[in-house]
């Protein structure tokens, strides 16, 4: 009976998400709001098909844990260093000023200092997913305005863990039952994780990767995240803190992009379920009973956050129009507000009613932000010119050459580029092939090369040249197709495994097809002729004639690739033509 109920509930969740999310994205209201509304419809306040949202919420919090892990993965030290000024000045000012102003207002409304501080910090955060979507649509991802927005979002992401720790600390000082072990136990656990990362983690992942079993790598990814989160939970610290630490530990790992790709689908589904569960807990009667208060509070939140950002950006000499545009995009409450409010209610820092009120206010602020941005665009007409999406990447120094496949073939190309100090990005599914590349300052990506997300992460959209050195014909053809979709202007140099593969590569318009044994075979044949007594000139001329003839025959054969009998005729004809060429050449030499 429980299994049947689980299946029915799963059907409800999936159906609601599939209907609501595309609809809300079509209306430019964002996927998060779609999930929240789907939850409201399913929850006890409307249809009532799910009568225990708290049980779902506890399970779905795993999505938040995975999100924190991915945030940690993205916090590589070099990224933070490149953006240190914007992060500290703009991001820090936004968080401190907004939190202080909101906290003061809440304190004046008779909330306790602890409640005011938590609410101020929580509501100062914006929705990363929501804001990135708006920035992309308005084409302001490119520097300099986009980088200022990213700096604010990044500082907010960094602040999430301290806020969660603060909530738990205030709960303990407030007499909550949430007990924690002595502080030195937590410090010891973190040191243990650092030692594990330093001496064992990469070796363990390398062993898993060498099995060439994708599902085992996915299982290992989940084991790392959930294992570290569980360790933190056992010693009385936040599970989110554990996931965040695990992400930071792996931020500079060769496996970073593979781990992110493996975790992403689980994070997306579970985070969606989390927002559905939050939606089920929203008390719509509050909106019906006090519509002006709830809407007024949401509008006030948007106004305060937007004006603070405008003031900070004006101090940075950003024009008012652009500053107000970015301020509106960052003015909604964030997804982590749902996490913090839920945790604070569980730890009895807030009453359930207070948590529900502010959860509803955050949801309303999300609903209002997108229409306000569209209204601003119509009134001010300040949508920026469209720029390539990759211009918004944290790292704008992607090498112009990508070598996909770093075995024997790819390594020779890499060595020659390195000799001329040409930076490149190396990609391979075997970590042993790319491990040494990092010490020379080149980028490396480990994972299944046929995955689009890995190709995007490697910077294919901005690369000038892609060298496909994969030793698997079908995989190389798939990669070339994906690369052309992302960057139609990219020049592709491809390794051909055999003649059939060369036909296919020429057929799809690869710029340069290199048959892996062709050049070496011609070189061996040339040496053979010289050792048989032919002069070096005769041997080289023979090699040149053969190369020219064979390449012409290959190109001619492409038209009849699917006609086996015609290919046979072309091969016979080509052999006869080659014999005639050699015979004519011999007569010319004899006459001379």
Beta strands in 378-511 (DSSP E): 401-404, 424-428, 443-446, 465-468, 491-496
Closest to 119 (Cα-Cα) out of 108, 103, 98, 105: 103
Closest to 368 (Cα-Cα) out of 9, 127, 73, 106: 127
| Domain locations along the chain | 2-380, 401-516
What token pair was written down for 521? 């075979």
What token pair was written down for 324? 């107000």
Q: What is the pLDDT of residue 438?
A: 59
Assign residue 165 a region: left if phi > 0, alpha if psi is -120 to 50, beta otherwise?
Answer: alpha
Beta bridge partners of 426: 403, 444
- Please state whether beta strands 401-404 and 443-446 pair in parallel, antiparallel, or not at all (unpaired): unpaired
Contact 126, 334 (CB under 8 A): yes
At 401 the three-state DSSP class reads strand
3-state helix/strand/coil string of 81-144: HHCHHHHHHHHHHHHHHHHHHHHHHHHHCCCCHHHHHHHHHHHHCCCHHHHHHHHHHCCCCCCC
CATH class entry, domain 401-516: alpha beta
CATH for 2-380, options being 3.40.50.300, 1.20.1530.20, 1.10.150.120, 1.10.510.10: 1.20.1530.20
Q: What is the pLDDT of residue 316?
A: 84
What token pair was written down for 279? 């939606």
Q: What is the pLDDT of residue 578?
A: 52
With a CB cutoff of 8 Å and minimum separation 6, the contacts of 210 are 430, 431, 432
H or E element, residue 512: strand 512-515
Distance CA 295, CA 558 (A): 67
Distance CA 13, CA 273 (A): 7
Q: What angle do CA 364, 368, 372 make, to 5 degrees?
A: 165
Closest to 271 (Cα-Cα) out of 533, 17, 84: 17
Q: What is the pLDDT of residue 68?
A: 77
Low-confidence ranges of the chain (pLDDT < 50): 1, 178-179, 384-396, 570, 587-592
């Amino acid at each position: 009976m429980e299994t049947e109920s689980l299946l029915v509930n799963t059907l409800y969740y999936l159906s609601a998400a599939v209907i609501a999310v595309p609809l809300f994205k079509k209306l430019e209201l964002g996927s998060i709001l779609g999930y929240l509304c789907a939850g409201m419809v399913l929850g006890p306040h409307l249809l009532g098909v799910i009568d225990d949202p708290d049980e779902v919420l506890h399970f779905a919090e795993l999505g938040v844990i995975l999100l924190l892990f991915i945030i940690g993965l993205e916090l590589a030290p070099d990224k933070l260093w490149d953006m240190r000024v914007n992060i500290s000045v703009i991001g820090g000012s936004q968080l401190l000023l907004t939190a202080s102003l909101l906290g003061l207002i809440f304190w004046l409304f008779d909330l306790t200092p602890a409640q005011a501080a938590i609410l101020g910090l929580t509501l100062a955060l914006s929705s990363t997913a929501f804001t990135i979507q708006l920035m992309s649509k308005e084409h302001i991802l490119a520097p300099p305005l986009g980088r200022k927005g990213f700096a604010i979002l990044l500082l907010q992401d960094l602040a999430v863990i301290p806020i969660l720790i603060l909530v738990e600390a205030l709960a303990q000082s407030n007499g909550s039952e949430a007990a924690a072990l002595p502080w030195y136990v937590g410090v010891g656990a973190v040191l243990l994780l650092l030692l594990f990362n330093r001496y064992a983690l990469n070796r363990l992942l390398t062993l898993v990767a060498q099995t060439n079993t994708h599902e085992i790598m996915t299982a290992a990814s989940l084991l790392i995240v959930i294992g570290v989160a569980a360790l933190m939970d056992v010693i009385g610290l936040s599970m989110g803190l554990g996931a965040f630490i695990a992400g930071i530990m792996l931020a500079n790992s060769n496996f970073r992009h593979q781990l992110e790709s493996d975790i992403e689908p689980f994070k997306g589904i579970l985070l969606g379920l989390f927002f559905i569960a939050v939606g089920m807990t929203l008390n719509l009667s509050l909106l019906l009973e006090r519509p002006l208060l709830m809407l007024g509070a949401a509008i006030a939140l948007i106004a305060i956050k937007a004006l603070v950002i405008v003031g900070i950006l004006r101090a940075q000499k950003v024009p008012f129009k652009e500053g107000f545009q970015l301020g509106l995009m960052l003015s909604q409450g964030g997804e982590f507000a749902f996490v913090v409010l839920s945790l604070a209610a569980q730890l009895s820092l807030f009453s359930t009613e207070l948590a529900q009120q502010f959860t509803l206010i955050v949801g309303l602020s999300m609903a209002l932000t997108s229409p306000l941005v569209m209204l601003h665009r119509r009134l001010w007409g300040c949508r920026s010119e469209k720029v390539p999406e990759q211009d918004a990447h944290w790292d704008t120094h992607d090498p112009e050459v990508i070598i996909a496949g770093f075995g024997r073939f790819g390594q020779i190309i890499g060595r020659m580029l390195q000799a001329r100090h040409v930076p490149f990005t190396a990609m391979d599914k075997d970590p042993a092939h790319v491990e040494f590349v990092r010490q020379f300052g080149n980028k490396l990506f480990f994972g299944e090369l046929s995955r689009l997300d890995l190709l995007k992460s490697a910077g294919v959209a901005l690369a000038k040249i892609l060298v496909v050195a994969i030793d698997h014909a079908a995989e190389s053809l798939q990669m070339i197709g994906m690369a052309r979709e992302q960057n139609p202007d990219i020049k592709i140099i491809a390794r051909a495994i055999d003649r059939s593969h060369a036909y296919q590569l020429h057929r799809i318009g690869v710029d340069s097809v290199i048959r892996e044994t062709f050049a070496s075979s011609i070189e061996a044949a040339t040496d053979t002729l010289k050792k048989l007594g032919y002069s070096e000139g005769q041997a080289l001329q023979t090699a040149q004639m053969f190369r020219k003839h064979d390449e012409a025959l290959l190109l001619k054969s492409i038209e009849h690739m699917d006609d086996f009998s015609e290919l046979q005729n072309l091969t016979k004809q080509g052999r006869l033509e080659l014999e005639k060429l050699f015979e004519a050449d011999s007569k010319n030499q004899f006459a001379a």
